[in-house]
Chains A and B, each alone.
Chain A
Amino acid sequence: MNHHRRRFLAQTLRAACAGAGASLFGKLHAMQRASVERAPAPGDYKALVCVFLAGGNDSYNLVVPRGPAEYATYAAARGDLAVAQASLLPITPITSDGRSYGLHPSVPELQALFAAQKLAILANAGPLLAPMTKAQYQAGSVPKPKNLFSHSDQTVACQAQSAGADGGYGWAGRAADQVLALNQGLALSPAITLAGSSRLLLGQTVIPYNLGWNGSVPLNGFSGTRGTRRLQAFRAMLNQSHGNLLEKHFAEIQDQAMSLDALIRSGLSGAAALTTVFPDTSLGRQLKMVARMIGIRGALGAARQVFYVVAWGYDTHSDQTTAQPNLFADLSRSLGAFQSALGEVGAEADVTTFTLSEFGRTLSSNGKGSDHGWGGHQLVLGGATRGGDLYGTMPDLAIDGPNDVGRGRMLPTTAIDQYAATLAKWFGLTPTQLASVFPRLGNFATADLGFQQA
């Protein structure tokens, strides 16, 4: 970590601790006090939910051109990876670009959401530092994100604005930083990951909370007279001085887990069970837990939250034709169930769900699957989304065509910065805050892609 960030973090942490402490969820007592001091306006709630498709989603098989000429181009590029034309689920975008499109046959729920104008599709987005043509890419005349096509680097590139001066903070975490004041009543971090460590949610002040797929679980062994005594000793070990910082960090995580467990469990146990049936998959379970947490937003005092879930298995180098239908079916069912559960908890208009993936994939095949690419299509859904339409520019899928920078890697025509800024603007960030969170935003033609209602 650079010294800037270190110093800044220390300052921020100190400032936050010295103040109301509301943002630092470890400081539970301060927060409980704060919760009676200032509650958010009733009904003022917004959440962003990121569904990260880990491994690099081959989205060119999710949204496929159906017209004869375009399909022929697609099929020629994709070879043995092509989805059969007749199997595509047709969609009719509100704004036509003169071509017709269909979705992968495994995603009927997404087709229905698109038809209901709850799902928008953003075409060919990816990490960019500035707009770039193929000629500029080839000439190296415009800087490009470092280590394109590498999992770890591109995960950071689409989750964090690492070219900025402040290093590796996640843009959703930084967006949550900006609206912390609205979360005065929230003892919990406004950033919740269901998938372990999350760069996306790491803000300068906001530190993500890790929630289990089944909610929070209490520590066992602390009930009864003996258990109460044991808990005292256990706490004494946590609260003692820790000269070693690794020890101190461990103690803090254990302390946070204990402090917040009761809060989350009592909230969840007081909520009505969801009737929506989710797929019993890792993604389905994660999204179900997010829906339940959103269901208790009032009890928690949450006004702005960001969530992170991960669907694994998208790195389809081999067996793509067997793996992809399962991945897409799971995604479609899980997102469909999530949208329906949001309706149950009365939050459909307040929650925007969006996909990210570290990269798209090569159009060309390796004989069994596809390789790491660059641009890819993303999905946005929710009651605040201007769904039923395509945004951005659909790429020309011809190998060696104007979008292809090699092997059918699509040069993105929309930057992740623009995509994220559109979401963050809806989340409530001002133009000044957007410029601070997305330092490169000014490099691009528009900061608002229009897929979110004002």
Chain B
Amino acid sequence: MMRHGKRSAALLALAVCAACGGGSSDHYQPGTDLPASEADAARLLQQATFGVDEASLGRLMHLGYDTWLEEQLDKAPSWHKPWLQQRIDAGTDTWQSHRVALWWDRAVHADDQLRQRMAFALSEIFVVSDESSGLENDVLGCADYYDTLLGYAFGNYRELLEAVTLTPQMGKYLSMLQNQKPDAARHVEPDENYAREVMQLFSIGLVQLEEDGTPKRDGTGAEIPTYDQSTIVGIAHAFTGWNYAKATNWTWPTANLLPMEAWESYHDTQAKTVLDGRVLAQGQTARDDLRMILDQLAAHPNVGPFLGKQLIQRFVTSNPSPAYVRRVARVWADNGLGARGDLRAVLKAILLDDEARNGHRTNPASFGKLREPLLRMTALWRAFGGHAEDGLYDDLWDPIGTFGQSPLESQTVFNFFRPDHEPPGTLGTAGLTGPEFQILTHSQITATTNAFEAQVFRGYAGYASARTDQVLIDVASLRALAGDPAALVASLDRLLMAGAMSPEMRRAIVDHVTLEPLGNGTQRALEALYLVVTSPEFAVQK
């Protein structure tokens, strides 16, 4: 209830803003921080959107960084659930693949790019997944959860945490739904799943952190745990008594998507010792216990560096400097107006930080991140108008098989990859993390490269055997440049690589394209495009 109330309030605010001019181009006046070049602008767009296209590039060049971000931050959410709800209401078969199809559509076409990108990042931190028995067939539930992330994407972390905690989707996924007080006679004890993961993954992490994200050390140089098993037990007891809203029977409730509600008769009212020895008094309600624990977690000094660093990794670079993490953590602690956990301010701090804007110049050897495979494909589709005649993006029906990831389809709550993953080989040897490399297995890289081969050579508008359910890209602009291979490659560099293509790579592609007879230009365009989107340089966002 509260979640919907909050979302409505957020929408109302946006509507009011729209009425006074927000959302229209007039309202946003160019700032003084105009990008020095299209390449600089394209870099921000790589970080903040699902891919560079002409429109966003022009808009950012016109408005400058800050105002462009403000405009994005003000945009109303493009929700995911309503379209699926309409399908279901119309009696049309609707599966998780339709939810994923809509995710692609939003990623490629929604104009609230930054919000969609943030929701995707949050979906990889606050993980629920349809790869679980409870959510496997719950298409609307998964979409509704994603909408929750969209709704709170630029809100306050404390409110996001509570909203996520009380979704029945999370309740099912990490078994807080119907978690009940102890029953000594039957040896029944409260489930510890959510109590554990809300700390380990959604808020403070396992060890105490300095403000810059590095672990604190005790006198012997050892890391210091943030909590122990007794904390988990205490919080598990505190998190008892929650069930579907409006349930009339604890054991056989009617499933729905409203925030969970408390049943005091199933809530453990004994005193509990929770984080840092704090005692929750005997006799408190389920909601009081929950509120006090979430307040304490959200106020913990770890949250800013712990989650701030992960957000930096999702948007900008896998190995941020401690100073970068500290700057973001400080904004997390105080948005400048005294508010803590303001995700809007945090996101701006991440994207406008000097390291985000200039890290590729100051630290070229380790700056950047492997693009997530899904984002490699959206970058291609956004740059070249990827579109299916039937309006659906359900041709790629198995993103896990093709890309090793798919929205809300992680195998475990630990996401597709861990933020501290050090891939064995070059990166691990250098002591660098590369989270996304965890899914870049030898078999996966081949599947993804082959997906690009199919997309480019058999998925362009004009391809003779194209199907109506196939996403086709428009290569007319490239075809027009085919007579000038250098210009063709430069055009790809501009939209797909933020102008950062190395001379070696440029030469390899130009040489290859030049050997291709000009013809009507299509083959040259395709050859160049294929080589760019399968290149190591494109694969890494810098």
Q: State the A residues within 8 Å of B (CB).
A: 1, 3, 6, 9-10, 13, 54-55, 76-80, 146-153, 193, 196-197, 202, 207-212, 216-221, 226, 229-230, 232-234, 236-238, 240-254, 256-257, 260-261, 312, 315, 317-319, 322-323, 362-369, 371-372, 399, 406-408
Contacts and interface: CB of A to CB of B under 8 A. Distances in A.
B209 to A, nearest CB: 16
B369 A79 contact: no
Interface stretch (B293-301, B342-350, B424-432): B424-432
A233 B412 contact: no
B338 interface: no
Contact of B430 (A240, A241, A245, A322): A245
Give 8 closest A-B pairs by Cβ, nearest first: A210-B441, A212-B443, A233-B512, A366-B191, A317-B175, A236-B508, A240-B504, A257-B442
B368 A364 contact: no
Nearest to B523: A226
Given A10-B429, A149-B196, A252-B426, A218 B512 contact: no
A318 B175 contact: yes
B443 A230 contact: no
Contacts of A246: 318, 366, 368-370, 427, 432, 434, 540
B365 A244 contact: yes
Contacts of B511: 233
A247 B430 CA distance: 13
Given A202-B424, A247-B537, A221 B457 contact: yes
Nearest to B439: A196
B526 to A, nearest CB: 10
A250 B502 contact: no
A217 B446 CA distance: 7
Contact of B189 (A212, A226, A407): A407
B200 A247 contact: no
A148 B172 CA distance: 24
B28 interface: no
A375 B233 CA distance: 19
Interface string B401-444: 00010000001111000100111111111111010011111111
Given A246-B369, A364-B189, A237 B537 contact: yes
A149 B229 contact: yes
Given A77-B187, A240-B505, A219 B449 contact: yes
Contacts of A317: 174-175, 191, 193
B179 interface: yes
A237 B489 CA distance: 14
B476 interface: no
A206 B133 CA distance: 37
Interface stretch (B304-312, B380-388, B459-467, B528-536): B528-536
A323 B133 contact: yes
A9 B391 CA distance: 51
Contact of B512 (A208, A230, A368): A230
Contacts of A211: 442-443
B433 to A, nearest CB: 9
10 contacts: A197-B423, A208-B424, A212-B447, A219-B450, A233-B531, A245-B366, A251-B536, A254-B449, A318-B134, A372-B193
A365 B187 contact: yes
A1 B431 contact: yes
A267 to B, nearest CB: 15
B229 A230 contact: no
A404 to B, nearest CB: 10
A395 to B, nearest CB: 16
B192 interface: yes
B536 A250 contact: yes
A250 B440 contact: yes
Contacts of A250: 370, 437, 440, 445, 536, 539-540
Given A6-B430, A249-B425, A371-B189, A219 B414 contact: no
Interface in B488-542: 502, 504-505, 508-509, 511-512, 515-516, 527, 530-531, 534-537, 539-540, 542
A312 B411 contact: yes
Contact of B531 (A146, A237, A247): A237
Contacts of B453: 219-221
A248 B422 CA distance: 14
Interface centre among A54, A219, A256 (most CB of B within 10 A): A219
B429 A9 contact: yes
A407 B537 CA distance: 52
A251 B440 CA distance: 11
A413 to B, nearest CB: 20
Contact of B414 (A149, A152, A257): A152
Given A9-B429, A79-B186, A243-B365, A229 B443 contact: no
Given A219-B446, A221-B457, A246-B540, A196 B425 contact: no
B241 interface: no
B443 A248 contact: no
Given A207-B424, A219-B449, A226-B516, A257 B443 contact: yes
B180 interface: yes
B412 A237 contact: no
A352 B345 CA distance: 55
A371 B368 contact: no
A366 B445 contact: no
Contacts of B418: 152
Interface string B363-384: 0111111100000000000000
Contacts of B471: none
Contact of A254 (B421, B431, B536): B536
B206 interface: yes
A9 B442 CA distance: 21
B123 interface: no
Given A220-B453, A244-B542, A367-B191, 6 more contacts: A150-B200, A207-B425, A210-B443, A218-B446, A246-B368, A248-B536
Given A240-B504, A246-B368, A254-B445, A371 B512 contact: no
A408 B189 CA distance: 10
A345 B449 CA distance: 33
Contacts of A256: 442
Contacts of A55: 412
B188 A1 contact: no
Interface centre among A254, A315, A365, A372 (most CB of B within 10 A): A254
A365 B188 contact: yes
B492 to A, nearest CB: 13
Contacts of B131: 312
A3 B430 CA distance: 9
A253 B368 contact: no
B531 A371 contact: no
B425 A150 contact: no
B82 interface: no
B431 A233 contact: no
A420 B66 CA distance: 56
Interface in B61-78: none
Contacts of A233: 508-509, 511-512, 531
B340 to A, nearest CB: 27
Nearest to B437: A249
B192 A220 contact: no
B358 to A, nearest CB: 15
Contacts of B425: 207, 249, 252-253
B449 A245 contact: no
A196 B441 contact: yes
Interface centre among B429, B431, B505 (most CB of A within 10 A): B429
B178 interface: yes
A13 B412 contact: no
Interface centre among B366, B504, B512 (most CB of A within 10 A): B512
Contacts of A6: 429-431
A369 B206 CA distance: 25
